[in-house]
C-alpha cells in the first residue's frame, strides 16, 4: 500500500491511525518501549529542505526500533542520471519502506509504480498527506471530535490545502477555503472532495470563511518553489492574514493551526501564534506520532501492543 494522497486511506484507516498515534504519544511520554519496527529500515529521500519531516520520520523510526536512512538526491546516483524506476527497484531490495519529499508529485507516483515496498509522500507540490493526518489528530485532541466542525483555510490554496480538502470530506468537516483570485485550490481536488460528499466552499472573502469557524488554518504565502513570485504573492495575499481580528470572528474556542515554518507578520501575527487558541506547536509534535502510526500500519508486522 502506498500513501501518495490522503485519499489513499479509507476513513477507517484514518481513525485507526489517529487512535494508534494517540496511544504511541501516551506510551512515549510514559517511557514505554514501542519497538514495533525492530530491524525495519526506511529510506528517506529529500529533494527539498526539511526540519519537521526529516526529524519526525527519523526519530519516529528510532522510537519504533527501526532505522531511517537519509538520502540526498545530489549524493545518490539519481544525481548522476540513474532513473527513478531503477532507484525504486534498488531501494526496494534494501529497505522496508520509502518516504520521499519531492519537488514534483509525478516523482512520487513514478517511485511508487516501481517500488515493491510501501511509498509515503512526505510532501509534493500537490499534496502533503502526513501533515493532514497531524492536523486531524490535533483537532481531535483539542475538540474531542472532528465530524461536523467548521474548518476555515485562509490564504494560498496549495498542497497542504489540497490534502485538507480531501481529509475534510472524508471526516465530515465543513470546509471554507478563502483565497485571492488566482490562488484557488485545484478544481479537480475540490470536485473529488465534493464527489465524496464533502461540503467544500471556495471564496475570496476571508472574513466570511472565518465566521463561526471551529478551526482556522493558514500556511506560508511563498512556498518552496515559489520564490520567484515572492513580491507578487506578498502583495496579492496581504489581506489573507490570520490576526486577532479574524480570530474574533471564529468561535471563542476555535483552534488555530499552521503547518510551519511561519513568517510572523505575514500570513499570521505573532500574537495569534502565542494565543490560547493556538495549537501550532502541538500540531508540529503530532507529525511524529501520526507518522509513527502510519509506518506501523504500512511496514509493521501487525505489531500493536
Give the pairing of strands 174-178 and 199-203: parallel
179 is an active site residue: no
Of 63, 135, 214, 219, the catalytic one is 219
From the list 150, 258, 259, 283, the catalytic residue is 259
Sign for the pseudo-dihedral over CA of 265, 206, 278, 34: negative
Check 2, 52, 101, 150 and give the catalytic one: 101
Read off the C-alpha cell for 264: 510572523
| Integer angstrom CA distances of residue 113 from 94, 104, 107, 195 | 17, 15, 10, 26
Determine whether 52 is an active site residue: no
219 included as an active-site residue = yes
Query: 126, 128, 150, 162: which one is catalytic?
Result: 128
- Name the catalytic one among 131, 266, 283, 291: 131
Rg of the chain over Cα atoms, rounded to whole angstroms, equals 19
Q: Catalytic site residue 291?
A: no
- Cell readout for 129 is 498527506
- In the residue annotation, 264 being an active-site residue is answered as no
* Cis-peptide, bond into residue 90, ω within 30° of zero: no
3-state class (DSSP) for residue 195: helix
DSSP string, 3-71: BSSGGGS-HHHHHHHHHHHHHHHHHHHHT----TTTT-EEEEEESS--SHHHHHHHHHHHHTT-EEEEE
Instruction: Look up 259 and say whether it is catalytic.
Output: yes
Q: Which residues are the active-site residues? A: 101, 128, 131, 219, 259, 287
Amino acid at each position: 500500500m502506498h500513501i501518495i494522497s490522503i485519499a489513499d486511506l479509507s476513513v477507517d484507516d484514518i481513525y485507526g491511525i489517529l487512535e494508534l498515534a494517540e496511544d504511541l504519544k501516551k506510551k512515549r511520554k510514559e517511557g514505554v518501549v514501542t519497538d514495533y519496527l525492530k530491524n525495519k529500515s526506511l529510506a528517506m529521500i529529500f529533494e527539498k529542505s526539511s526540519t519537521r519531516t526529516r526529524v519526525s520520520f527519523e526519530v519516529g523510526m528510532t522510537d519504533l526500533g527501526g532505522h531511517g536512512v537519509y538520502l540526498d538526491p545530489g549524493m545518490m546516483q539519481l544525481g548522476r542520471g540513474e532513473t527513478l524506476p531503477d532507484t525504486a527497484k534498488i531501494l526496494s531490495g534494501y529497505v522496508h519502506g520509502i518516504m520521499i519529499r519531492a519537488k514534483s508529485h509525478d516523482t512520487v507516483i513514478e517511485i511508487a509504480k516501481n517500488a515493491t515496498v510501501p511509498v509515503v509522500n512526505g510532501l509534493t507540490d500537490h499534496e502533503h498527506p502526513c501533515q493532514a493526518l497531524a492536523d486531524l489528530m490535533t483537532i481531535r485532541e483539542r475538540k474531542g471530535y472532528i465530524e461536523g466542525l467548521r474548518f476555515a483555510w485562509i490564504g494560498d490554496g496549495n498542497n497542504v490545502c489540497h490534502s485538507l480538502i480531501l481529509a475534510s470530506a472524508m471526516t465530515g468537516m465543513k470546509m471554507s477555503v478563502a483565497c485571492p483570485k488566482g490562488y484557488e485550490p485545484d478544481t479537480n481536488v475540490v470536485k473529488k472532495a465534493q464527489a465524496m460528499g464533502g461540503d467544500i466552499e471556495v471564496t475570496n472573502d476571508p472574513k466570511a470563511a472565518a465566521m463561526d469557524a471551529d478551526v482556522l488554518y493558514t500556511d506560508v504565502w511563498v512556498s518552496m518553489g515559489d520564490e520567484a513570485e515572492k513580491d507578487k504573492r506578498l502583495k496579492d495575499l496581504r489581506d489573507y492574514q490570520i490576526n486577532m481580528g479574524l480570530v474574533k470572528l471564529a468561535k471563542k474556542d476555535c483552534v488555530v493551526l499552521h503547518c510551519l515554518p511561519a513568517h510572523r507578520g505575514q500570513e499570521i501575527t505573532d500574537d495569534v501564534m502565542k494565543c490560547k487558541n493556538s495549537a501550532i506547536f502541538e500540531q508540529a509534535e503530532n507529525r511524529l506520532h501520526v507518522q509513527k502510526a502510519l509506518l506501523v500500519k504500512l511496514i509493521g508486522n501487525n505489531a500493536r501492543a
